[in-house]
Amino acid sequence: MQPTADFDAAKLARSLLRRSRQGALATLMTGSGAPYCSLVNVASHWDGSPIMLISRLALHTKNVIGDPRVSLMLDERADGDPLEGARIMVAGTADKACGELEATLRRRYLNCHPSAELFVDFEDFSFFRIRPSAVHLVAGFGRIVDLAAEQILTDLDGADALLGAEQSAVDHMNADHRDALNLYATRLLGAEAADWRCTGCDPDGLDLSADKRRALRLDFPRRIVAPAELRRVLKDLADSARNAAPN
């Protein structure tokens, strides 16, 4: 299916990857290979690939260690019939993180799930990153699309400066520009007023969160790769939000 004026399958899948905070993880049972499904909290890497913090005491972690092939179901958690909302099934492999990657996953995960600070340093917990190989999107009648990984992941080439400055930008926005974050959420994304905070940024957009269940994705009007560009685009978006009519 090709994108239409009101339906861009890849864009919707990318948004679900960024906005999801929980998902159903399917693994293969060690020994039997039987399917096993469990609920996990998730965040996302800079490129959009899902991040999990899971304990080796959990059966799903034992399964992943034995066979890293997994699938992860993410949905919009919309009110009413859940089958009317969009959802994606991400197929891929779950790799345990170490070194510099582990530090990145830890920071981004805790930005989304600050309560995990209570147990993140327990010896049995580890960060895993799911490397997608394919995505199956269901977005309503006649809107069922299979997507390749390269269609839904963010290109990070040339963006090292931006990624290196991400946490300082997140901290700055949360400390000094909560009014702008609220304007992004309410004026540009149609959300209700809340204590919106920034949880991350990447070349394609900004991630926002309020309480433990609401998350938004603000797409940038253009791809950015440098901190100076980020400052400019955030200012432009704030100006646009101030000039937009309240929802």
On whether the CB atoms of residues 144 and 6 are closer than 8 A, the answer is no
In angstroms, rounded to a whole number, what is the distance separating the alpha carbons of residues 77 and 6?
21
Domain with CATH 2.30.110.10 in the chain: 9-152
- The CATH number that domain 9-152 falls under is 2.30.110.10
Does the predicted model carry a pTM greater than 0.85? yes
CATH annotation of 160-243: 3.20.180.10
pLDDT per residue over 150-207, tens digit each?
Answer: 999 999 999 999 999 999 999 999 999 999 999 999 999 999 999 999 999 999 999 9
Ranges of CATH 3.20.180.10 domains, the chain: 160-243
Q: Alpha-carbon distance 6 to 1, whole Å?
A: 13
The vertex-72 CA angle with 67 and 76, nearest 5°, equals: 175
How confident is the model over 9-65, as pLDDT tens digits? 999 999 999 999 999 999 999 999 999 999 999 999 999 999 999 999 999 999 999
